[in-house]
Amino acid sequence: MSNDSFALSAGYLKKLVPLMMKYQVPANPKNYALWYTYIANTDEALTKAMNESLQSSGSVSLEQCTELYEAHIADGQNEGIQAAQEGFEALALEISNTMVDTMKDTDVFQSTLEKTFSQLARVDEEAMSTEETIAVVRNALKGSKEIRQSTSFFKNQLADAQKEIDRLKETLAEANEQAFNDALTGILNRRSFDKHLDKLIASPPERGFCLLICDLDHFKSFNDTYGHLMGDQVLKLTAKRLAQFCREGIEAFRYGGEEFALLVPNRPLGGGGRVAETIRASIDKLAIKDKKTGSKLDNITVSIGVAQFEKGESPRNLISRADAQLYEAKNLGRNRVMPIT
């Protein structure tokens, strides 16, 4: 990042927090990214929408913030991360500049001291008058006061910067989590899946790995019968159960909708199939109750397709083979794992 970009980031950072406080906007990663983009004026449509809201109602409601984020920022979820990183860089530049100024003041004070000592040495040699001696001492005291003010300002700025750094670190951590975790279930999302899969293919474990793609059976019918809130509850419980299998390098992801994926390292096809069968049986035992009626709902089942990575194949091909096995499991009656190993 250039010095100009640093200066811009520092300026945005100084405007961002006071503006969000003025309009009582919660400082979460989504709002941080939204208002940072607004201040930076990098999205004309967003700037226009924000200005219209501010002019008409004098504020931007939380609902509007969410809608504007989804419309203008959501496709680039790394905006919050980038904004926080630029904030760190801007703070570093500002502190560095202040340090340079303080060092210059120190050099000036050192020069003043050396000149003062040289002048005081003439007291005995040249019989300086009392008035002349007092003038020399006053000059030294003036320089001492100025350097104290300079170092005090630097100390205060460091303290303020530390507070801002702590806040930015928290924002960055939240933004990172948001970028790679599914908002509903809390497990890793599709973006994270793509990243992990690429990494495994680039450097496969010694014993290879398997991809498991899981799909909840009859989920659309379940949603139609019991409603989306109960459907969301099923997704959360399924994700929680999958997370229990995340050991020995296994990672679980929400792949999309009612589909989940697991990457199982150091397992051949048979080993991956056994993991899948254990997961299937575990989910089949999930018991869901309707809180309104207290009645037990239909059992939740899942179909799973398994594919073992073949050296040199692409992510797309591996996913396609696992999908084919998943469709076969569905065609054979659901609540099963394919291929049978």
| Phi, psi for 181 (deg, rounded to 5) | -120, 145
| Phi, psi for 99 (deg, rounded to 5) | -65, -40
Question: How far from each other are the two terminal CA atoms of the chain, in whole angstroms?
Answer: 54
Q: 210 - beta bridge partners?
A: 264, 308
Placement of tokens 């003043």 in the chain: 112
Alpha-carbon distances of 108 from 51, 134, 158, rounded to whole Å: 48, 20, 22
Three-class secondary structure assignment of 293-328? CCCECCCCCEEEEEEECCCCCCHHHHHHHHHHHHHH
Enzyme catalytic residues: 258
Amino acid at residue number 330 = K
Q: 213 - beta bridge partners?
A: 261, 305
Hey, is 262 helix, strand or coil?
strand
Whether the Cβ atoms of residue 238 and residue 302 lie closer than 8 Å to each other? yes
Q: 254 - beta bridge partners?
A: 260
CA 253 vs. chain centroid, Å, equals 17
CB-side neighbour CA atoms (13 Å) of 260: 33
